[in-house]
């Protein structure tokens, strides 16, 4: 069975790449996922998605604000994904939750569920969604998903336990249409040994002419500062000379000018932030290239990101790690095929 797949807020295609790579064989049948349509408002992300996921001219990528999109005119689907914007739920920012500019956009995923009635869906957001609006935001979202006709399983995935070389924690909600009477189980982590930053970036080495591998020109002050910062340290807990210290207090756990530790997974790759947030190599006195950041997000080296250097940085940081997402899609396909697999209890109950 091939599930026709649609995606809202698709970004550069991390979820879609994971979905299209997922195939399960069981009961004499092949279960897989095929692209039907995708939507996003960011022009560069749409081009990245179009060229990598589809690879040819197509009218199946709709590049417009979801608030101006006529969902009812999109082709029918069997599966839906939506990583609804996290700006108002993130730990970075004003955290207005469902009352912010982006918080209410989850409702377009609900609208799509009610219109298309797909067999299953996957929704993704930051871990901070659990606490937005004193916990009421998540409870409201889960209730609306259930009322749309779905059995819901919500879990905080620690992607470093799923083969991703990065400590990235994301809330993933999987819904199976209630009338199907199938129970999704959170796939059990199988990563006994975490993948380190060094392994991700150096094994195999990145080719010099790899796409999106341009080095950043560092100022002499940044170079001098990095010389005093050890692997795993940042600008606030390193032993810096006074003239290189930052005049900010209370930021000892900050990622400002933080170097990766080569023998541990990286800290979270982000898509926004000012100076000193570009992620820094453990031994070389420089920021990571976008290709190195894409490695930490488990994108293959032939996945080309389009747009300016800063646009590419944002696309990579906002994406869902491909390897981690694929583990979840495979579990969904096994659930649909009636194949048992090792699972664990979800971290978030039905009452959120």
Residue 251 has pLDDT above 70, yes or no: no
**CB 149 within 8 Å of CB 177:** yes
Mean pLDDT value across residues 262-279: 88
Ordered domains of the chain (ranges, CATH): 2-192+319-344 (3.40.50.150)
Cα 256 to chain center, whole Å?
Answer: 21
Mean pLDDT value across residues 261-290: 92
46 is catalytic: no
Strand 186-187 to 343-344 pairing: antiparallel
Q: Which of 167, 169, 157, 234 is nearest to 195 (CA)?
A: 167
Selecting among 38, 63, 81, 86, the annotated active-site residue is 86
List alpha helices for the chain, DSSP H: 14-20, 43-49, 106-116, 136-147, 197-202, 220-227, 290-296, 309-318, 322-337
Q: What is the pTM of this model?
A: 0.92
**CB 125 within 8 Å of CB 157:** no
Mean pLDDT value across residues 142-171: 96
| Residue 209 burial (10 A CB sphere; 0-12, 13-18, 19+) | exposed
Q: DSSP 3-state assignment of 124?
A: strand
Q: Note the pLDDT of residue 253.
A: 65
DSSP string, 135-188: GHHHHHHHHHHHHTTEEEEEEEEEGGGGT-SB--EEEEEEEEEGGG-----EEP
């Amino acid at each position: 069975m091939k599930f026709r797949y649609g995606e809202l807020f698709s970004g550069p295609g991390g979820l879609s790449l994971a979905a299209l790579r997922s195939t399960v064989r069981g009961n004499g049948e092949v279960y897989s996922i095929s692209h039907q349509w995708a939507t996003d408002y960011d022009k560069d992300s749409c081009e990245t998605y179009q060229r990598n996921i589809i690879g040819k001219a197509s009218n199946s990528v709709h590049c417009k604000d979801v608030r101006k999109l006529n969902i009812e005119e999109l082709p029918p689907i069997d599966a839906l994904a939506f990583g609804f914007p996290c700006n108002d739920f993130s730990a970075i920012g004003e955290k207005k939750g469902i009352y912010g500019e982006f918080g209410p956009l989850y409702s377009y995923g609900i609208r799509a569920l009610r219109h298309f009635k797909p067999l299953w869906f996957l929704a993704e957001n930051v871990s901070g969604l659990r606490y937005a609006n004193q916990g009421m935001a998540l409870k409201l979202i889960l209730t609306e998903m259930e009322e749309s006709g779905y059995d819901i399983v919500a879990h905080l995935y620690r992607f470093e336990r799923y083969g991703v070389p990065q400590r990235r924690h994301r809330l993933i909600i999987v819904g199976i249409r209630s009338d199907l009477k199938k129970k999704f189980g959170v796939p059990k982590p199988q990563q006994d040994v975490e993948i380190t930053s060094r392994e991700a970036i150096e094994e195999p080495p990145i080719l010099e002419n790899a796409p999106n591998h341009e080095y950043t020109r560092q100022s002499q002050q940044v170079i001098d500062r990095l010389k005093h910062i050890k692997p795993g340290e940042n600008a606030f807990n390193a032993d810096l000379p006074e003239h290189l210290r930052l005049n900010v207090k209370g930021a000892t756990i900050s990622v400002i000018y933080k170097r990766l530790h080569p023998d541990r997974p990286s800290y979270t790759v982000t898509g926004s932030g000012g100076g000193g947030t570009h992620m820094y190599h453990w031994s070389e006195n420089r920021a990571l290239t976008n290709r190195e950041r894409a490695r930490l997000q488990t994108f293959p080296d032939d996945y080309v990101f389009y747009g300016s250097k800063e646009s590419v940085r944002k696309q990579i940081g906002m994406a869902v790690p491909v390897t981690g997402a694929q583990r979840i899609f495979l579990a969904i396909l096994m659930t649909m095929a009636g194949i048992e697999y090792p699972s664990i209890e979800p971290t978030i109950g039905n009452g959120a």
